[in-house]
Structure 1
Amino acid sequence: MPDPTGTSLDQLAARLVVHGSRFARYASRGPGERRSVVAVRVLANLQHEGPLRIGELTARERISQPAMTSAVNRLEEDGLVLRRADLDDARACVVELTDAGRAELEDFRGRAAERARPALERLSAEDLAVLDRAADLLEQLSDPRSTGTTTA
C-alpha cells in the first residue's frame, strides 16, 4: 500500500532500518570505546526491560548462549550487572543492571550524542524539527506495547 509520498510501507520500513542502523553505528563507534556492541545492547535491554535471564538476552541479541554468557560474565566482573536467583524458577538466575551499569550506559550514550552532534549542527531548524518528531515516532514504534512485538 503506497503512502502519500509514493513509497510503499515495505520500502519505508527498509529505509528506516538501514539508515537508522547506519546512523547508530556511526554515532556509537568512536576511538577508545571499551565495550562491544553486544555489551552495550545488554545494558540497554536490562535498562529498558528490567532483569532478564541469559536465555532471554540471547534471544533478543540473536547470539549463542556461550557468547552471551561470556559477555554477561565480563559485565559482571566490571560491576555493571549482577546475577540473582530468579524468583519464578529457583534453578535459574536473572541478570540485573547495577547503578554502575546505568551510569556506563548513560556515558556511552552521551559520547555517541557528541559524535552525532556535528552532523546535526549542519541541518536547518526545519530539518531538526522533523528529526525531533521522527525520534518521537521511532520511540513509539519500538515500544512492544504499541507494535505487538518484542524489542531487539
Structure 2
Amino acid sequence: MTDEEQQLHELLVDLVSNTHRFAKLAGSFASDQYPRAWLRALSLLEEYGEMRISDFARLDRSSQPSATALLRKLGENGYVERRADPEDARAVRVAMTDKGRKILNDGRNEIADALVPHFVELGPEQIKKLADGLAELRSIIKTSDPS
C-alpha cells in the first residue's frame, strides 16, 4: 500500500467511526413520536422511490417478513401506500405519501434543531468547509451506490 493509499485508508476508517458517532448523537435527539425504523424506512423510499417490498428488504438489510410488517404499519398510519405491481400481479409496491414526506421532514428538522447548539461555535469558514466536504462525499456516494 502506498503512503497515499494508507492515508486514504486511515481517513475512511476515521470517517466510518465518526459518522457512526454523529448518527448516534443525532439519533439521541430523535422524537419518541415516530420510531427510528419508520424514519429510516421513509428515508429509503425518499432516496430510491417506489419499490417492491423485496427490494425494500434488501436495501434495509432486513428480512422480508420484517420489512412487510414495518411497511404495513407505515401504511396503516398513512405514511406509505401499497400499489399493485404492473409487471407482476402477485407483487406489491410501496411508495411514500405526502403525509410520510411530512413526518420525515419534521423528524429531520427536529433533530437538526437539537444539534444546532452543538455546532453554534462554528464560524462561517468552518461551515463552508463542512458543506463543501459533505457535497463532495454525497457526490462520491451517489456514484458508488452498490444498490
Unpaired runs of 5+ residues, structure 1, are none
- Equivalence for 2:56: 57
Q: For the aligned residues, what is the CA RMSD?
A: 1.9
Q: Does 1:149 align with 2:109?
A: no
What TM-score, normalized by structure 2, do the two folds share? 0.88
- Equivalence for 1:38: 37
Aligned pairs, how many?
146
Distance 2:48 2:30 in 1: 29
Distance 1:66 1:17 in 2: 29
Offset, 1:87: 1.5
- Give CA-to-partner distance per residue, 1:59-85, whole Å, 9 cap, x none: 112122222111111111110001001
Contact 1:40/1:105, CA 8 A, preserved across alignment: yes
Percent identity of paired positions between Structure 1 and Structure 2: 31
Offset, 1:7: 5.3
Label 1:107 to 1:127 Cα distance change in 2 as closer, same or farther (>3 A): same
Contact 1:51/1:94, CA 8 A, preserved across alignment: yes
Distance 1:31 1:112 in 2: 6
Contact 1:53/1:93, CA 8 A, preserved across alignment: yes
More helix by share: 2
Q: Secondary structure at the match of 1:90?
A: strand
Q: Secondary structure at the match of 1:10?
A: helix
Offset, 1:131: 0.7
Residues 94-133 of structure 1 correspond to what in structure 2 (within 5 A)?
Answer: 94-133=93-132
- Counterpart code for 1:92: A
Q: Secondary structure at the match of 1:79?
A: coil
Contact 2:81/2:96, CA 8 A, preserved across alignment: yes
Q: Secondary structure at the match of 2:32?
A: coil
- Equivalence for 1:68: 67
